[in-house]
Amino acid sequence: MLLEGRPVLFDAIEFSPLIASGDVLYDLAFLLMDLAERGLNTAANIVLNRYLVETRRGADLDALAALPFFLSMRAAIRAKVAAARLERAGAETPGAERSARNYFAFARGCLDPPPPMLIAVGGLSGTGKSLLARALAPDIGALPGAVVLRSDVERKRLLGRDEHDKLPQDAYAPEITARIYATLADQARRAVAAGHCAIVDAVFAKLYEREVMVQSAAILGVPFRGLFLEADLATRMTRVSMRGPDASDADTSVARVQESYGLGAIDWTRVDASGTPQATLSRARNAINV
């Protein structure tokens, strides 16, 4: 504009709340894209899942449908910047053309993600469910990997408590636990319907808890993989006693009580989880063919 006869440049859009508003997930996609493009899928997956936990918005699971496009857009911007640098500098920047081509190929790949699936990881406390779920997630499905849904985290969220707060015994009443599993199933369906894989991490001690996961996948017409981790009591007690700050409240007394659980018929793939995390991960990957 002309201000007192002089041309003045303005870079501001505060005059329009509509134009000034942006999608936070689109902003986050820049970081996710940069990490994934550099082969740091694990870091990208951690960022995405932490974002979903912290926002506590179910609608963010629906928004995942736009994430492949957002990632592609962000990579295309990087490609354009690299190409512009090449145009300006010419032969002085031999890596610019390669960078532009790599980003453009990445942008195209984001638009053709693999189909989603629903995975459930069950097992008594101390079998390593959460560790396995986090290890599986980065390499499954659309970038930057699967959405991890954990019952311990969801229980704290439902009761309005911090993730590391220890809950009283009545927080584990059957009616509350039933709500937790229903919520996990709903969240998993939303993530999968948006085109992302979901990994649900919970004990799944009861038959109906396992069946609702199978039915959720069937409703959406996607593959289901159920894993049930197993380890002896001594191993489980050692592991729960060595935990640092964690969303799980399970201790050695809980581990002992769980030994008496009547689990019923388990038709999920049983995975020996008594060894190292790497051994468990290898067995789990073979079971779900990833």
pLDDT digits (tens, 9 = 90+) for 229-278: 999 999 999 999 999 899 999 999 999 999 999 999 999 999 999 999 99
| Largest CA-CA distance found in the chain, in angstroms, rounded | 85
Looking at residue 9, what is its pLDDT? 84
Burial of 24 (0-12, 13-18, 19+ CB in 10 A): exposed
Contacts with 21 (C-beta within 8 Å, 6 or more apart), sequence order? none
Q: Among residues of the chain, what percentage have pLDDT more than 70?
A: 96
Looking at residue 149, what is its pLDDT? 98
The identity of residue 44, as a single letter, is: A
Looking at residue 91, what is its pLDDT? 53
The yes-or-no verdict on residue 94 having pLDDT over 70 is: no
Q: What is the mean pLDDT of residues 188-202?
A: 98
3.40.50.300, 3.10.105.10, 3.40.50.880, 1.10.10.60: CATH of 118-288: 3.40.50.300
Angle at CA of residue 162, ends 161 and 168, nearest 5°: 50
Name the average pLDDT for the chain: 93
Backbone angles phi, psi at 159, to 5 degrees: -95, 5
Please give the Cα distance from 152 to 171 (Å, whole number).
11
* Spans of all domains in the chain: 20-112, 118-288
The yes-or-no verdict on residue 30 having pLDDT over 70 is: yes
At 112-135, the pLDDT tens digits run 999 999 999 999 999 999 999 999
Q: What is the DSSP letter of 166?
A: P
- Whether the bond between 68 and the residue before it is cis, its omega within 30 degrees of 0, is no
Q: How far is CA 218 from the centre of its chain?
A: 21
Angle at CA of residue 30, ends 55 and 82, nearest 5°: 175
The yes-or-no verdict on residue 172 having pLDDT over 90 is: yes
- The H or E element that residue 225 is part of is strand 224-230
Residue 118 forms beta bridges with which residues? 198, 224
And the tokens for 232?
């002896």
Q: Are 199 and 136 in contact (CB under 8 A)?
A: yes
Looking at residue 36, what is its pLDDT? 97
The yes-or-no verdict on residue 90 having pLDDT over 70 is: no
